[in-house]
Amino acid sequence: MSSYENRAAYLRQTLQEISPEQALHMVRHDDAILLDVRDADEIKDGLPTPAHHLARGQLELRVHHVCDDKQRPIAVMCAGGLRSLFAAESLKNLGYENVYSIRGGYKQWKESALESRIPQQLSAQAKERYARHLLVPEVGEVGQLKLMNSRVLLIGVGGLGSPAALYLAAAGVGTIGIVDADVVESSNLQRQIIHGEDQLGKLKVDSAAAAIGRLNSMIKVKTHPHYLDESNALEILSQYDLVLDGSDNFKTRYLINDACVKLGIPNVHAAVYRFEGYVTTFGSTQDAACYRCIYPELPPPEMAPSCAEAGVLGVLPGVIGVMQAVEALKVLLGIGNNLIGKMLRYDALHNEVSILQLDKADDCLCGQAPEDIHLKPIEAYACAI
C-alpha cells in the first residue's frame, strides 16, 4: 500500500465516518453543518441541498467564515469519501471537536436519492471581472453571488449617489434602482461625477443608467424618474433589499425612514455640509435606532441649509458616498462591523474622524408595529411629528 493509502486507512480508524442519511439527520436535528469540499467544477451537476460549499484548497483559510463555533458538529463530504477524511483531519487540527466524514461522499448521497440542487455559479466572465473579490475570504464566490442577487435602491444620484452608484455597479450588485426626478444642470458637475457635460438637460436617472451601463453591462438598472412621496414610496422601496439615502432635504429623509421602518429594509443614510460628512445605517430590527431617534422633530431651516444654500466642498460627497457604498456592501454580505447604532462623522477641513453612538429613543415610530405605521403626505413633514 502507498503512504497515501496507509494514511487513509489510519484516518478511517481514528475518525468517525457516517452515512449520508446520518449526516442529513444531524443537520436537521443537531444543528450540524454539512460541508462539501469538492472543487467548483465537481459541483456543477449537483450539491446537497443543505450543504455549504468550500473547496478543499480553501478549507483552512475560510472555514471560520462558515463556522466559528469549534463545538458545532461538522459533516464533511467529498466525491467518494476519501478527501473528506483528510479534510476532517485538518478541521480536527484546527480545533473543531465534532467532525465526521461522510462515507461514500456525494456519489453515495445521490444513490441514496437524497435532495440536491444545481448551485448557481459565476460565469467565466464574472470570475475574471471580480477576480480581486474572489481572493478576499470575506467575499469569495459565495459573497459575489450574494451581491449579484442583491437589489439596492439609491435615493438621488447627486453628490452622494453618484460615487455610490458607480462603486456598487463595479462591485457587482446585480440590480440598482435609482429615484430622481431632476435633470442634470451645470452646477451639478462640480461633485456629481456620474454625469457629464454631454448629459446637461437630461434626466439624472437616464444619465446615471447610461454611466452604469458603460461601466458594467452585467448590472440591471431600474429608473424611477419621480419625486418620492407617500403615494409611491412603499411601492418603490418594497422592490429592494437595501436603501441608500442620498437625499438633500429633511422631509424626504423622514419619508424614507418611515417607509424603511415599515418595510423592514436597512437604510444606509448619509449627509454632507460644507466640509463635514456623516454616514450611518438604520437597521431593520426593532432594537436599532432610526432617523427619528436622532431628529424627532424637523430642525428650523436656518439650522439645516441644503448644499444649494450652504455650499459643499466638491470632493466631500465623493468620500462620503463611497463610505455609503462600503457600508452597503458589508450589510449585503453580512460581514464586519457596520454602523447600526453609530454615526461616522468626517471633518475634511481638520482631518478628523469620530464615531457617535446613537441611542434608540423611547416612544419612537421605530418601536411601533409595521401595520401601525402610516406614511404622511410629504408636506406634512414640514411640521413637528
Spatial separation of the C-alpha atoms in residues 267 and 280, rounded to whole Å = 8
Q: 218 φ, ψ to 5°?
A: -75, -15
State the distance between the two ends of the chain, measured CA to CA, in whole angstroms. 80
Spatial separation of the C-alpha atoms in residues 80 and 103, rounded to whole Å = 7
Catalytic residue check, 307: yes
Inter-helix orientation angle 161-171/316-333, to 10°: 40
Looking at the chain, how many residues does it have? 385
Inter-helix orientation angle 204-215/161-171, to 10°: 30
Give exposure, 162-181, as e/b (b: 16+ Cβ within 10 Å).
bbbbbbbbebbbbbbbbbbe
Q: Which of 260, 307, 364, 366 is catalytic?
A: 307
> Which DSSP symbol is given to 383?
S
Show the DSSP H helices in the chain as ranges.
Answer: 3-14, 20-29, 59-66, 83-93, 105-111, 124-129, 131-134, 140-148, 161-171, 204-215, 233-237, 250-263, 291-294, 307-310, 316-333
Q: Kindly list the catalytic residues.
A: 307
